[in-house]
Amino acid sequence: MVIETDRLDFPALTAGEGPVVVCWHGFPDHPATFGPLAEHLVAAGRRVVAPFLRGHHPATADAMRFADGLTLAADAAAVASALGGPVDVFGHDIGAGMVYRLTALRPELVRRAVTAAVPAPARMPALLTDPAQQQRLFYLWLFQLPGLPEQLLAGDRRLVDYLWSTWSPGLADLGAHRERVHALYGDTALLGNALRIYRGNFDAALRDPELLALAARSELPAEKPILLLAGADDGCVDARWFTEEGLAPGSRVEILPDAGHFLHLERPVEVARLALDWYGQPVST
């Protein structure tokens, strides 16, 4: 399906019928990895919509002028509105950051929110200045270098495989998902867009000036409670960073044992159970 919005038309994978759950992916990932989770959400009477991030599909490859978190949050708001919001949302990795900002800036578009594998924005300054966590985030610093990451990843996707294996050490076999992820980041235009998101954290030229006035408010605790899910064995973000600090009152943190960064793929039954319990009884639409 293609979700037509006033910002961009977003290609998306969909399944099921009923009240919508919008699932936003991260890096290095593909919306199809929500498949196992979607099976359980669909069985519970939900319609799952998993859009490709801006610039992560050939149809939007040329639509990445700006790549900051506010741009992505505005995209999430546009999609939620186009789908008749308020909607339930699930954000993983980069998608989690989108959901935090969406819920802070446009709470009327969010019914209930679940984030996975990334702490609340309030935790990020301390996280980014912690030496042990800096080592885990080596890829973020690597991606700031001009030209080198493009060269490394265009030649092969061993770095992508390394990130998957170290972030989710218990995930032994990706099956067809590995091919999908390799194909996405093997496209030089899409790879460049993914790198721009990481560079947008530090490069002001990649930030949309029309959205800058929203920056401070987007970092505040979301106005609605959030369920934050994390894996105890996450090799990207240490589990100690996943706390309720920076989350709205009534929020909850669940750290899953024997799970890593890609917990929606590793533990889809448990993640679906937690998400559905948080979303509550579907409301007919």
The whole-number pLDDT of residue 150 equals: 94
Tell how many helices (H) and how many strands (E) occur in the chain: 13, 8
The whole-number pLDDT of residue 282 equals: 60
For the stretch 232-267, pLDDT in tens is: 999 999 999 999 999 999 999 999 999 999 999 999
Does 285 score more than 80 pLDDT? no
Structure tokens, 25: 């992916």
What gap in Å lies between CA 143 and CA 197, rounded to an integer? 10
Domain boundaries, the chain: 2-279
Q: Is there a cis peptide before residue 28, judged by omega within 30 degrees of 0?
A: yes
The whole-number pLDDT of residue 109 equals: 97
**DSSP labels for 168-189?**
STT----THHHHHHHHHHHSHH
Nearest to 163 by CA among 171, 10, 251: 171
What gap in Å lies between CA 73 and CA 152, rounded to an integer? 29
- The pTM (predicted TM-score) of the whole model is 0.96
The whole-number pLDDT of residue 70 equals: 95
Place of tokens 């890609």: 262
Share of the chain above pLDDT 70, in %: 98
Question: Mean pLDDT of all residues in the chain?
Answer: 95
Residue 154: pLDDT band with limits 50, 70, 90: confident
Strand pairing report for 87-92 and 47-51: unpaired
Identify the CATH number of the domain defined by range 2-279.
3.40.50.1820
CB 78 within 8 A of CB 187: no
131: three-class secondary structure by DSSP: helix
Strand pairing report for 9-15 and 2-4: antiparallel
What gap in Å lies between CA 31 and CA 59, rounded to an integer? 15
